[in-house]
Amino acid sequence: MTRSEPLRLAILISGRGSNMAAIARACAEGRIDARVDLVVSERPGAAGLETARALGIDTRTAPWPGAAGREQFERDLAAVLAAARPQLIVLAGFMRILSRQFVEARAGRILNIHPSLLPDYRGLHTHRRVLEAGDRVHGASVHFVTAELDGGPVILQSRVAIRPDDTEDALSARVQATEHIIYPRVIGWLADGRLAWRDGRPWLDGEPLEAPVVEDFP
């Protein structure tokens, strides 16, 4: 793919938006050839919306009406996204599950970050569960989104050593700091054409990506 313009991103958030801000800064500082055109939240009070506005990024809300209203929500979300015509949708702490239909209509064009070494610890409270299990390592995973929750192909993982005196907060802070490094990196690979989605799977540097790239952090 040849592009003369930066890769256009829309980022979906539900809360603080620290990953969104890290990605936006990587774009603004020219570290990745991408541009955040829009930040969307289903929570009008999400703190990350204010952060995005302070960074000069357009924001929208598509309020979550409850599970019974999922179809309408996804129509609203699709309309908001269609107006911005993003080339990539980036889920960054977006805490709603998107339907198979929504995801499959955008195959290979949605990324997510999850705070665990997938396929371990899908779902919520990953830091607590890892500590309770007595694991020695933890981390975060950037993956393509498929209809299977936290189940799409993983591209890059940060692996973080668990310390004997770790608490949930301390571990979560260390893992989040790595998220802010690996998420922009993967978006940069896509923007540079190193990473692509073809034939229903990820390719990196011209080869099918058989296993995630893993980066170790202290």
Q: Which residues bind ligand GAR (CB under 6 A)?
A: 13, 15-19, 48, 92-93, 113-115, 140, 176, 179
Cβ neighbours of residue 28 closer than 8 Å, sequence gap 6 or more: 55
Distance CA 37, CA 11 (A): 8
CB 119 within 8 A of CB 45: no
Q: Work out how close the CB of 189 gets to ligand GAR at its nearest, in angstroms, rounded to a whole number.
A: 19
For residues 133 and 149, which CB has a smaller minimum distance to ligand GAR in the complex?
149
What Cα–Cα distance (Å) separates residue 164 from each residue in 78, 134, 171, 178? 45, 9, 11, 19
- Report the nearest approach of ligand GAR to the CB of residue 3 (Å): 26
Cα 207 from Cα 94, distance rounded (Å) = 30
- The CB-of-104 to ligand GAR minimum distance in angstroms stands at 19
What are the phi and psi torsion angles at 10 (to 5°)? -120, 135
Tokens of 185: 């990196």
The residue number whose beta carbon is nearest to ligand GAR equals: 93
Nearer to ligand GAR, 76 or 179 (CB): 179
Mark whether 138 is an active-site residue.
Answer: no
The active-site residue, picked from 114, 127, 143, 180, is: 114
- State how far the Cα of 29 lies from the Cα of 201, in Å rounded to an integer: 30
Q: In the complex with ligand GAR, which residue's Cβ is closer, 79 or 149? A: 149
Cβ 208 to ligand GAR, closest distance in Å? 26
- Name which of 17 and 202 has its Cβ closer to ligand GAR: 17
Active-site residue set: 114
